[in-house]
């Protein structure tokens, strides 16, 4: 239990209350809609609130419960990053280019959550086409961090991170190509999972770089991410990368003891490759100690440098993103934000040979990473070098000039979970990243869940 009351409930707690008929989905939905009206103008997490549809879905969930149906997501309010297509509901990718885009079908992930009884509250802010960065020259303002509205949420699933942290939704969908689920999870003090590629369908999710794109859940706790993943995971023949994942319940195995688990501390990552702030170093020391107290064997591990993974990841992203958007860039260049143009246009100059070299090097990095998992069950590192920076300090070329710790998992094709690892002295959240071998999604969720329980950090919410 996270000990909250509406709207500050975890999915697990809300689900228990709903099942016990101590909380009605309509009551919960109304509470969250009221909070959105009161709080969202400060943080801009929503691009569109679908109040009428939400109440209709909540009433339908209530009828289903009265008829005897049960399910962990039945009547649970959620939001979708605005690159997830939603039938009959505007899907903009936070861009002028798609300002009038109304899809005819739901993304497969949206369909799965709706089938499980989840209630969509609306569409959430992103960076333009999931790459742009916070921009002030678009029709909608960038999301702001609920812990300090002057600060960056991380991106690109910026609205998803802000909305979950602020208690506007209990769960959200994000997408992650270089860290876009895990960076906002870290900066907003929530949990976010980048699953193993192929585990969660991407059909109906507006792509950024299909070689690296993954769709995944974001929520207050690792347990909530597991509950969402139980509904999201599964084979989808309409996503060419989709494969039948392991048959496991991600939520039911979370409490299996961690005794003897081999945890690798990626110390060089945060002491040398992307030096962490003193508070991040302290957080990592505390996290290692917490994991030891859970029975884990924590020793130092080493992967190729963060810069190696980033060079490959950024070249692939730039080339593929440019290819996807070239036609629109030719005709509507000025309709994109400056940040988007800076981050994508350079892709026009990448030679095919350089792109292929990046893909070939990626196969090496996948192999080198996999070999490390012969000696470790999970690896841990901070996802960011420090606390969320001021929003105004974000540079258009940040995606190139500053290597991201999170890109390692995208390039290596492995699952990675970020949970809240601690707080700075000024009350800003710091993330902890847990990386597992391919198809080790259940393992990283289990470690994340038990770390959260032991660290006792889930009772603290931003004050808005």
Partner 1 sequence: MAAQPATTVPMISPAEMQILISRAGLVLNPGQMADLVLAWRQVAGLIAAIPQGRKLTDDMALTFRLPPPAGATSASRAADKQTRAEVDGGSVRRTGQAARTAPRKPAPKSARSAAAGPALKAATARSPKTAASRARKPATKNTAAAAHTTAAKAAAAKSSARAKVKLKAPTRRPASRRR
List 64, 149, 294, 346, residue binding partner 1 (CB under 8 A): 346
Give the C-alpha separation, 448 to 225, whole Å. 10
Q: Does 253 bind partner 1 (CB under 8 A)?
A: no
| CB-based contact 93:130 (threshold 8 Å) | yes
Give, as ranges, the residues between 149 and 178 that touch partner 1 (CB under 8 A): none
| CB-based contact 228:445 (threshold 8 Å) | no
Question: Greatest CA separation found in the chain?
Answer: 61
Q: Does 335 bind partner 1 (CB under 8 A)?
A: no
Give the C-alpha separation, 32 to 238, whole Å. 34
- 271/326 with CB nearer partner 1: 326
Give, as ranges, the residues between 175 and 204 that touch partner 1 (CB under 8 A): 196-198, 202-204
Span of 45-53, 235-243, 252-260, 446-454 interacting with partner 1 by CB under 8 A: 235-243
Catalytic (active site) residue 180: yes
Give, as ranges, the residues between 403 and 422 that touch partner 1 (CB under 8 A): 413
Instruction: Return all residues near 102 (Cβ < 8 A) that are at least 6 apart.
Output: 88, 89, 90, 91
The distance of closest approach from Cβ of residue 87 to partner 1 in the complex, given in angstroms and rounded to an integer, is 10
DSSP H or E segment with residue 12: helix 11-19
Write the DSSP string, 26-72: HHHHHHHHHHHHHHHHHH--EEEE-HHHHHHHHHHHHHHHHTT---T
List 200, 233, 254, 258, residue binding partner 1 (CB under 8 A): 233
Q: How many residues bind partner 1 (CB under 8 A)?
A: 92
Residue 289: how many other CB atoms lie within 10 Å: 11
The string over 330-363, giving b where at least 16 C-beta atoms fall within 10 Å of a residue's C-beta and e elsewhere, is eeeeeebbebbbbbbbbbeebeeeebeebeebbe
Q: Does 426 bind partner 1 (CB under 8 A)?
A: no
Give the C-alpha separation, 157 to 152, whole Å. 12
| CB-based contact 135:142 (threshold 8 Å) | yes
Q: Does 114 bind partner 1 (CB under 8 A)?
A: no
Span of 71-79, 89-97, 165-173, 218-226 interacting with partner 1 by CB under 8 A: 89-97
CB-based burial label for 152 (10 Å; 0-12, 13-18, 19+): buried
Q: Lay out the site mask for partner 1 across 368-407 (x = CB under 8 A, - = otherwise).
A: x-xx------------------------xx--xx------
List 145, 180, 211, 221, residue binding partner 1 (CB under 8 A): 211
Please state the separation of Cα 325 from the chain's center in Å. 23
List 180, 310, 337, 384, residue binding partner 1 (CB under 8 A): 310
List 24, 101, 282, 394, residue binding partner 1 (CB under 8 A): 101
Catalytic (active site) residue 289: no
Span of 151-159, 280-288, 327-335, 451-459 interacting with partner 1 by CB under 8 A: 327-335
List 239, 273, 279, 452, residue binding partner 1 (CB under 8 A): 239
Q: Does 206 bind partner 1 (CB under 8 A)?
A: yes
Cite the active site residues.
81, 156, 180
């Amino acid at each position: 239990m996270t000990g909250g009351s509406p709207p500050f409930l975890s999915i697990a707690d809300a689900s228990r209350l709903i099942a016990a008929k101590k909380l009605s989905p309509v009551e919960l939905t109304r509470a969250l809609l009221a909070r959105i009206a009161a709080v969202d103008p400060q943080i801009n997490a929503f691009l569109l609130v679908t109040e009428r549809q939400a109440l209709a879905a909540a009433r339908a969930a209530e009828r289903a419960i009265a008829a005897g149906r049960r399910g962990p997501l039945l009547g649970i309010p959620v939001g979708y990053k605005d690159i997830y297509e939603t039938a009959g509901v505007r899907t903009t990718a936070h861009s002028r280019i798609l300002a009038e885009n109304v899809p005819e079908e739901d993304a497969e992930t949206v369909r799965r959550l709706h089938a499980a009884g989840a209630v969509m509250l609306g569409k959430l802010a992103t960076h333009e086409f999931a790459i742009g960065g916070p921009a002030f020259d678009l029709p909608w303002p960038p999301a702001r961090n609920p812990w300090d509205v002057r600060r960056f949420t991380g991106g690109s699933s910026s609205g998803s991170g802000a909305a979950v942290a602020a208690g506007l939704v209990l769960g959200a969908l994000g997408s992650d190509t270089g860290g876009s689920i895990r960076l906002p999870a870290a900066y907003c003090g929530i949990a976010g999972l980048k699953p193993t590629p192929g585990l969660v369908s991407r059909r109906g999710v507006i792509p950024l770089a299909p070689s690296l794109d993954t769709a995944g859940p974001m929520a207050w706790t690792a347990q909530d991410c597991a509950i969402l993943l139980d509904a999201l995971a599964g084979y989808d023949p309409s996503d060419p990368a989709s494969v039948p994942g392991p048959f496991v319940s991600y939520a039911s195995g979370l409490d299996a003891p961690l005794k003897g688990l081999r945890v690798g501390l990626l110390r060089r990552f945060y002491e040398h490759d992307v030096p962490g702030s003193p508070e991040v170093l302290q957080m990592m020391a505390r996290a290692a100690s917490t994991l030891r107290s859970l029975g884990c064997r924590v020793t130092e591990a080493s992967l190729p440098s963060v810069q190696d993974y980033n060079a490959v990841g950024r070249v692939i992203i730039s080339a593929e993103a440019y290819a996807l958007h070239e036609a629109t860039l030719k005709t509507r260049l000025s309709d994109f934000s400056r940040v988007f143009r800076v981050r994508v246009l350079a892709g026009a100059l990448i030679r095919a040979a350089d792109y292929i070299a990046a893909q070939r090097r990626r196969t090496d990095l996948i192999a080198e990473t996999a070999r490390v998992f012969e000696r470790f069950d999970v690896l841990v590192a901070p996802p960011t070098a420090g606390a969320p920076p001021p929003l105004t300090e974000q540079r258009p070329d940040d995606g190139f000039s500053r290597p991201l710790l999170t890109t390692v998992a995208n390039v290596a094709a492995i699952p990675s979970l970020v949970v809240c690892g601690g707080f700075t002295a000024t009350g800003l959240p710091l993330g902890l990243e847990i990386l597992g071998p391919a198809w080790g999604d259940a393992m990283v969720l289990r470690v994340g869940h038990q770390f959260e329980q032991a660290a006792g950090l889930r009772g603290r919410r931003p004050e808005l």
